[in-house]
């Protein structure tokens, strides 16, 4: 997770009104917008406010704190220190590292290990981590076998340590953590919660396509976004479907964008690593989009679903009442097909407010 942060601030006054403010508040209500970059990708925040306050410093500081806890690209971050310097690390009980770890543990258990944040050594081996970005010239099966032995999330122990700390310890030398499949979603959630603490209840926060939406837009409609098409050679703006989010979050994982292609064989190596085999996962599933109350959960399950494949992913998504999922997959004849849980149909009805 690279860390580079730029924040641009703009205030846009809109003539249309929201359903919630009073008549006097409608005259003052403005749409505030922030754009920038963080975690190696784009950042966009929109919200409704009438206070004329500039929250950019608070939002920026929060992102800096999160990255200093969980970015594998910052050598002094807590996760980097745990990965490279210490087998045991004290972290704040209510801190960013602990929150990411605890949710990762929960999803790891719910997915029977398909979501595994100890996959970092394999991510680096295949060229998708914090090490040099290059395709593996020649696959060494013996090396992969050894690396898979390091992917043991259960070998990490956590103990409460007064006052208000956790002691995180790894039992295996060489084990490393990677929260990149959950950290963007978590950062989106934390930005949204910060806005709520500042009295903002109508907002849309997006980092690299991961979204959290609350309340409505200025015209009273639910916030809208889209799920990108994984079609080969599609433009960045081409959508498979537009959806609306009624106090929901949305995260998408796909193997159609972040991959290496062997020019000699034409083989594509995607960034979703199967933690059970050690190899980049290759199945018919091209994109997994997850709707959930919070974006960190959606982010983690989207990654797990890509590793699991269509059948296992759809079965699990159908069992979890807090999740809805939209899958794009390749049929045997090469055409794109769609499969989703029933409630997703409601999200695609853009006429509803």
Which residue positions form the known binding site for Mg(2+)? 181, 299, 303
Query: Which contacts (CB < 8 Å, 24+ apart) does range 336-343 have?
Result: 336/229, 336/230, 336/231, 336/286, 338/240, 339/310, 339/314, 341/314, 341/317, 343/291
Q: What tokens were used for 165?
A: 């700390």
Q: Give CA–CA dist 293/244, Å, rounded.
A: 13
- What radius of gyration do the chain's Cα atoms show? 21
Bridge partners of residue 33, in order along the sequence: 10, 46
Nearest CA to 208 out of 325, 51, 35, 72 is that of: 35
Identify which of 215, 213, 242, 217 has the alpha carbon closest to the alpha carbon of residue 227: 242
Contact 281, 313 (CB under 8 A): no
Q: Which parts are annotated binding residues?
A: 181, 299, 303
């Amino acid at each position: 997770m690279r860390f580079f942060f730029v924040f641009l601030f703009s205030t846009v006054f809109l003539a249309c009104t929201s359903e919630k403010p009073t008549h006097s508040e409608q005259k003052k209500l403005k749409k505030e917008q922030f754009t920038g970059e963080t975690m190696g990708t784009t950042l966009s925040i929109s919200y409704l406010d009438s206070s004329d306050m500039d929250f950019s410093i608070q939002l920026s500081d929060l992102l800096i704190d999160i990255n200093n806890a969980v970015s594998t690209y910052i050598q002094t971050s807590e996760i980097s220190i745990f990965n490279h310097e210490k087998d045991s690390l004290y972290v704040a009980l209510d801190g960013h590292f602990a929150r990411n770890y605890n949710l990762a543990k929960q999803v790891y258990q719910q997915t029977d290990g398909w979501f595994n944040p100890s996959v970092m050594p394999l991510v680096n081996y295949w060229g998708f981590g914090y090490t040099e970005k290059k395709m593996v010239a020649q696959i060494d099966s013996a090396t992969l076998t050894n690396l898979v032995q390091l992917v043991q999330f259960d070998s990490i122990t956590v103990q409460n340590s007064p006052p208000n700390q956790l002691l995180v310890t790894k039992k295996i030398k060489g084990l490393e953590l990677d929260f990149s499949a959950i950290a963007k979603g978590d950062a989106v959630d934390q930005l949204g919660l910060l806005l709520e603490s500042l009295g903002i209840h109508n907002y849309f926060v997006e980092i690299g396509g991961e979204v959290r939406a609350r309340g409505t837009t200025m015209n009273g409609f639910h916030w809208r976004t889209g799920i990108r098409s994984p079609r080969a050679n599609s433009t960045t703006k081409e959508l498979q479907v537009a959806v609306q989010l009624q106090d929901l979050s949305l995260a998408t994982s796909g193997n159609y964008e972040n991959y290496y292609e062997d020019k000699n064989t034409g083989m594509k190596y995607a960034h979703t690593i199967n933690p059970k085999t050690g190899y980049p996962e290759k199945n018919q599933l091209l994109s997994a989009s997850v709707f959930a109350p919070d974006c960190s959960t959606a982010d983690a399950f989207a990654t797990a679903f890509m590793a699991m494949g269509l059948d296992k992913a759809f079965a699990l998504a159908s069992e979890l009442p807090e999740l809805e999922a939209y899958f794009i997959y390749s049929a045997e004849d090469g055409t794109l097909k769609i499969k989703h849980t029933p409630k997703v149909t409601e999200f695609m009805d853009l006429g509803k407010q």
